[in-house]
């Protein structure tokens, strides 16, 4: 077992089963040493588990859990991109976070920490990433959060 998989076990994280893409695209593309992972929804067993707007029906804490779930789904695809070996990940380069929320919501960064904290918990210093987080009026399938990722691998 590589160090990253060991860390996942230690964190009690069982990566989710991949959710099928909603359309004619793929979950990730590798170009050179970069892996681009498609925007992931907070899916469990292939179904969106957290729907609605953060700051309205969805609390900030639940939004954080959603962001964490999104990143777990990103990891599922990243592992596939690495041929099963997350030990090949050299750096989490960038995460993009989209938070479905009303116009008066301002705690987007706090919500997105659910993803960022998991990245650092899993990869340590290599998990420290650039990030852009924005509010959006709605997401596919009424998901509360969507997270996309860019990674450097060996």
The residues of the shown chain that bind a copy of itself, judged by CB under 8 A, are: 21-29, 31-34, 36-39, 53, 91-96, 98, 100-110, 112-113, 116-117, 119-120, 128-142, 146, 148, 150, 152
Residue closer to a copy of itself (CB basis): 4 or 71: 71
Residue closer to a copy of itself (CB basis): 1 or 27: 27
Whole-number Å distance between alpha carbons of 125 and 115? 15
In the complex, minimum distance from the CB of residue 112 to a copy of itself, in angstroms, rounded to a whole number: 7
Residue closer to a copy of itself (CB basis): 1 or 68: 68
In the complex, minimum distance from the CB of residue 41 to a copy of itself, in angstroms, rounded to a whole number: 10
In the complex, minimum distance from the CB of residue 18 to a copy of itself, in angstroms, rounded to a whole number: 13
In the complex, minimum distance from the CB of residue 1 to a copy of itself, in angstroms, rounded to a whole number: 25
Axis crossing angle, helix 3-10 with helix 108-123, rounded to the nearest 10: 120
Residue 41 in contact with residue 148, Cβ under 8 Å? no
In the complex, minimum distance from the CB of residue 125 to a copy of itself, in angstroms, rounded to a whole number: 10
Residue closer to a copy of itself (CB basis): 1 or 79: 79
Residue 79 in contact with residue 86, Cβ under 8 Å? yes
Q: Tell me 17's DSSP state.
A: P
Whole-number Å distance between alpha carbons of 147 and 38? 8
Residue 48 in contact with residue 143, Cβ under 8 Å? yes
Residue 153 in contact with residue 105, Cβ under 8 Å? no
Residue closer to a copy of itself (CB basis): 16 or 39: 39
The label of the residue with tokens 């987080």 reads 133
């Amino acid at each position: 077992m590589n160090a990253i998989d060991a860390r996942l076990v230690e964190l009690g994280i069982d990566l989710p089963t991949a959710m099928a893409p909603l359309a004619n695209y793929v979950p990730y593309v590798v170009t050179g040493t970069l892996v681009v992972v498609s925007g992931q929804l907070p899916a469990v067993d292939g179904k969106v588990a957290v729907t609605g707007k953060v700051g309205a029906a969805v609390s900030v804490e639940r939004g954080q859990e959603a962001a964490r779930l999104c990143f777990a789904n990103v990891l599922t695809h990243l592992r596939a991109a690495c041929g099963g070996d997350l030990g090949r990940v050299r750096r989490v380069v960038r995460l993009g976070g989209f938070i479905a929320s009303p116009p008066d919501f301002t705690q987007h960064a706090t919500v997105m920490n659910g993803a960022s904290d998991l990245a650092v918990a899993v990869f340590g210093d290599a998990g420290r990433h650039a990030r852009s987080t924005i509010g959006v009026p709605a997401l596919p399938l009424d998901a509360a959060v969507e997270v996309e990722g860019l990674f450097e691998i060996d």
